[in-house]
């Protein structure tokens, strides 16, 4: 496949309908922020196993001539979410992955949509109303969407653990079974909720009548979230993390995400002169994987809610610190690897408009279908991001009321010295920094177009969605000699299928100084690039 070209605007998403929603907004004169709100709403409907309006989101935003900014739309733990609250309910070892007890953090993504629309209006002369931005999502929820193979197969795979959860079977199953690929899937209750948000604004989710309904339903099901938690929540405008790379400046999200980890990997590889190795050779993959291990060690020791961090995360991107990590890599032998951070269900999307304003966006409910609970009136599937909290008070990510959970989510962006800009990202837990590494190095360092960079075989160290093994996973399209050489370097190898969803759903858009746009989408997803 060849990269898609454009001049006036471009969007990429892991579901083609979301990319088309964004493009429609751009064609109506909307800007990249407005287009992304539309895409975010649509994908919450058409890719329900990957994300929902009951989850969190993060944004990176750049407009030419202005500083890069970001939106942290991540919800904190409920005020009642204490270790004692769980102990009183018989939970003493770990917070469950599923059910009402897993639904212990506020869903922040709707607040992010609102913050983005306000930025659009205040900084980019945005004029499109929320009723227009959410129109596609409301239509798809009311009239239905064709079920993707991804939704059908994943629902089947997780049926046993999800079907007992309150509201799940009624919402996502057909006569007790997963919906068939290509069948029509409607979400009428969610349509009414989206219509209400479009009419009354995103604040209604946290402050209005909708908030009252959401809080009551969560409490009735057994979640610790209360109305006061919704009232307390608001999206935060942030200054993103920045890596000074030899090719330009690379940006990512601040903690509690692992954005600094993605930047550290690129910073380490920048000091190892990666281009001296043949692309996709054993040496190339080995150094990318070993850089990942060095960055993950820092992540697992320090990265958490910023209010609880002991180090300034920007210090991990200082040249001397990165050089120390680069020096620790053995060029011919793999470092032993321990436990990763676990699976994550997510969507990444990118939009660039005619003025060069670009958005890198990620939206998630953590595990597939999140906590699995669906609120009976609003039809909202709630996230289980808070199951990542530990009940051990000495743990880095220990549960505390109002604390933000650690997020694997991290949208990426680069502004190159030659004037190009790039938005890129992926879904996939531990795989997110690794796939970002593959996309960045293949495009920026080796000069591939976005589509080839995404389509070429990928690797994954450790866990991602649907996987719990800690091996180095390689798509079967890698050269057998490369696989053999990596095994000889002491990597524990596991072979995946040719185009395996395990390595994530990636996307990338590059804008040249001339205004020419090139985009790539992941053939492992149901996505597409929409451009004009």
pLDDT in tens, 120-152: 999 999 999 999 999 999 999 999 999 999 999
| pLDDT score of 97 | 94
| pLDDT score of 525 | 92
> Of 83, 130, 82, 135, nearest to 110 (Cα)?
130
Residue 2 has pLDDT above 90, yes or no: no
238-334+408-531 CATH fold: 3.60.20
Using CA atoms in the order 127, 71, 422, 3, what is the torsion angle rounded to 10 degrees? Answer: -70
* DSSP result, 153-220: HHHHHTHHHHTTSTTHHHHH-BTTBPPPTTSEE--HHHHHHHHHHHHH-GGGGTTSHHHHHHHHHHHH
Q: What is the DSSP letter of 465?
A: T
pLDDT in tens, 391-420: 999 999 999 999 999 998 899 999 999 999
Measure Cα distances from 403 to 256, 281, 396 in Å.
Answer: 10, 43, 12
Report the catalytic residues.
346
Mean pLDDT of the chain: 95
The proportion of the chain whose per-residue pLDDT surpasses 70, expressed as a percent, equals: 97
pLDDT in tens, 173-193: 999 999 999 999 999 999 999
pLDDT in tens, 231-282: 999 999 999 999 999 999 999 999 999 999 999 999 999 999 999 999 999 9
| pLDDT score of 338 | 65
Tokens of 229: 């938690």
Residue 321 has pLDDT above 60, yes or no: yes
* Number of Cβ within a 10 Å radius of residue 249: 14
| pLDDT score of 464 | 55
Using CA atoms, how far apart are residues 350 and 22, in angstroms rounded to an integer? 9
Residue 465 has pLDDT above 80, yes or no: no
Residue 37 has pLDDT above 90, yes or no: yes
* Confidence class for position 468, pLDDT limits 50, 70, 90: low
């Amino acid at each position: 496949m060849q990269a898609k070209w454009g001049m006036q605007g471009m969007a990429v998403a892991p579901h083609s309908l979301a990319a088309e929603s964004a493009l429609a907004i751009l064609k109506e004169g909307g800007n990249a922020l407005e287009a992304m709100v539309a895409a975010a709403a649509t994908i919450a409907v058409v890719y329900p196993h990957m994300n929902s309006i009951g989850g969190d989101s993060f944004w990176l935003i750049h407009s030419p001539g202005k500083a890069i900014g970001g939106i942290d739309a991540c919800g904190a733990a409920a005020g009642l979410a204490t270790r004692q609250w769980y102990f009183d309910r018989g939970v003493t070892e770990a917070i469950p992955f599923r059910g009402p007890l897993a639904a212990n953090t506020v869903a922040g993504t709707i607040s992010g949509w609102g913050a983005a629309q306000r930025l659009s209006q205040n900084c980019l002369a945005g004029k499109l109303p929320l009723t227009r931005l959410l129109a596609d999502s409301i239509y798809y929820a009311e009239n239905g969407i064709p079920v993707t193979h991804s939704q059908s197969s994943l629902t089947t795979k997780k049926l046993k653990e999800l079907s007992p959860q309150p509201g799940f079977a009624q919402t996502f199953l057909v006569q007790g079974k997963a919906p068939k690929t290509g069948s029509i899937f409607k979400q009428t209750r969610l349509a009414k909720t989206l219509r209400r948000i479009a009419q009354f604004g995103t604040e209604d989710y946290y402050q209005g009548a909708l908030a009252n309904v959401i809080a009551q339903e969560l409490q009735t099901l057994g979640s610790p979230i209360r109305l006061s938690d919704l009232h307390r929540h608001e999206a935060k405008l942030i200054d993103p993390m920045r890596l000074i790379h030899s090719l330009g400046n690379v940006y990512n999200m601040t903690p509690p995400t692992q954005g600094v980890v993605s930047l550290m990997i690129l910073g380490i590889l920048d000091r190892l002169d990666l281009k001296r190795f043949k692309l996709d050779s054993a040496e190339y993959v080995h150094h990318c994987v070993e850089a990942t291990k060095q960055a993950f060690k820092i992540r697992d020791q320090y990265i958490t809610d910023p209010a609880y961090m002991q180090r300034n995360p920007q210090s991990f991107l200082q040249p001397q610190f990165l050089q120390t990590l680069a020096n620790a890599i053995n060029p011919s032998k793999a470092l032993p690897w321990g436990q990763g951070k676990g699976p994550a269900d997510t969507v990444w999307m990118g939009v660039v408009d005619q003025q060069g304003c670009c958005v890198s966006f990620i939206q998630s409910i953590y595990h597939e279908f999140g906590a699995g609970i669906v609120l009976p009136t609003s039809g909202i599937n709630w996230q289980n991001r808070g199951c990542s909290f530990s009940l051990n008070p000495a743990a880095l990510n220990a549960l505390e009321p109002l604390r933000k959970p650690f997020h694997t989510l991290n949208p990426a962006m680069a502004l190159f010295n030659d004037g190009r800009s790039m938005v890129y990202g992926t879904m996939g837990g531990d795989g997110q920094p690794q796939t970002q590494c593959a996309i960045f190095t293949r495009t920026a360092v080796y000069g591939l177009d976005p589509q080839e960079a995404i389509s070429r075989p990928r690797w994954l160290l450790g866990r991602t969605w649907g996987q719990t093994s800690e091996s180095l996973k390689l798509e079967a399209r890698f050269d057998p000699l490369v696989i053999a050489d990596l095994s000889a370097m002491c990597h524990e190898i596991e072979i995946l299928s040719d185009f395996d969803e395990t390595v994530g759903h990636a996307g990338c858009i590059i804008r040249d100084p001339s205004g020419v746009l090139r985009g790539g989408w992941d053939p492992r997803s149901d996505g597409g690039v929409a451009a004009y």
